Amino acid sequence: MAEAVLRAELKDDAARVEVVSAGTRAVEGEPASPLSVEVAAQHGIDLAAHRARRVTPELLAASDLVLVMEPAHLAQLRALGGAHDKIHVLGEWPPPGQPDLEVSDPFGGSREGYEECWRRITRHVKRIAPHIIEALRSQSM
C-alpha cells in the first residue's frame, strides 16, 4: 500500500524515481492481500497487478532511501547489510517526523486494521513526498 500511495503522491515526479516495495517476510510473486486491494480501490488505486518481492542485500545496496513500517524492520534490514544512513522508519523520517503515529502491518487482520494502516501511511507519505520531490529537483539542477 505504501508504494502505491507514494507513487500517487509524487504525481508527475513519480516517473523520475523508482519506488519499490519489498518485504522482510514476503513470498515472491504473491498478489496483494484481498483487503489491501479493496482498501486501495476505495481510494482510486489499483493493486491488482502488485506482486510481492522479498528484500535482498542487492536491493538495499541499490537504494538511495529505504522506508520501513516498523522498528523491527529497521533492525532486520540493517542486519542484511543496509546502510544505516539510508534506512528509516516511515514515521521518523525526515526528523522529527511523527514517531507516535506508528504503522503496523495489517496482514491477516480486520478490514478496520487495513483502513487504519492506509490512513497512517497516507498521512506519513503526504509529509514525506515534498522532501523526495525537493531532492529529485535539486539533483536535476
Quick: pLDDT tens for 10-59. 999 999 999 999 999 899 999 999 999 999 999 999 999 999 999 999 99
Domain ranges of the chain: 2-139
Whole-angstrom Cα distance, residue 84 to residue 59? 15
128: buried, middle or exposed (CB in 10 Å: 19+, 13-18, 0-12)?
buried
Give the model's pLDDT for residue 11.
Answer: 94
Exposed e or buried b for every residue in 58-79, given b needs 16+ CB within 10 A?
ebbeebeebbbbbeebbebbee
In this structure, what C-alpha cell is assigned to residue 137?
529537483
Per-residue pLDDT tens over the stretch 46-95: 999 999 999 999 999 999 999 999 999 999 999 999 999 999 999 999 99
User: Does 2-139 carry CATH code 3.40.50.2300?
Assistant: yes
Q: Are the C-beta atoms of residues 117 and 104 closer than 8 Å to each other?
A: yes
**Contacts of 81 by beta carbon, 8 Å cutoff, 6+ apart:** 57, 60, 61
Residue in this structure with the C-alpha cell 507513487, named with its chain if needed = 7
Give the model's pLDDT for residue 141.
Answer: 44
Per-residue pLDDT tens over the stretch 98-136: 999 999 999 899 999 999 999 999 999 999 999 999 999
pTM greater than 0.75 (yes/no) = yes
Give me Rg for the CA atoms of the chain: 15
Whole-angstrom Cα distance, residue 25 to residue 57? 14
Cis omega (within 30 of 0) on the bond before 94? yes
